[in-house]
Amino acid sequence: MSQLKTVLVLCTGNSCRSQMGEAILNHELAGLARALSAGTAPQPKVADGAIAALRLIGLPTEGLHPKDVEAVMNEDIDLVVSVCDKARESCPVFPRPVKRIHVGFHDPHGEPLDSFIRVRDDIRERLVPAVRAALDI
């Protein structure tokens, strides 16, 4: 069995899109990849809408909390996925070369739950296959 690949889902606030991406990738790619998320300027908490949208499809949300990208710098990361344009522009330099891709999503912050659900479904539809392709898993 090959070692799990580690994916970092990077956003600015690490309160919504990247958190949903982390939970969805950990569910959909269980046994193949381990997802982490972080932000370049993390918010104080995960958006309620993101938590609600994940719970609606039965995904665990315990332990999800905004983290600064510095907190994951020493992880052995195989792939960085930026999910917002701002994070792509300010993506930090990692201690070793790391593959990067960008898959942008609408920011539903401050919008009704329906927007979070649409973004969650978009993440499932586009992020999972993009990560599979990038890591060849």
Determine which helix (DSSP H) or strand (DSSP E) holds 10, and give its type and residue range. strand 5-11
Question: Could you say which of 8, 38, 84, 127 is catalytic?
Answer: 84
Rounded Cα gap, residues 2 and 77, in angstroms:
15
Rounded Cα gap, residues 56 and 37, in angstroms:
20
Cα separations in angstroms, 78 against 6, 56, 119, 134: 5, 30, 25, 10
Phi, psi (rounded to 5 degrees) for 61: -125, -5
Question: Could you say which of 8, 9, 10, 11 is catalytic?
Answer: 11
Which residues partner with 11 through β-bridges?
Answer: 39
Question: Could you say which of 4, 91, 113, 130 is catalytic?
Answer: 91
Active site residue 91: yes
CA proximity to 12, closest of 79, 91, 74:
91
Active site residue 11: yes
Q: Catalytic site residues?
A: 11, 84, 91
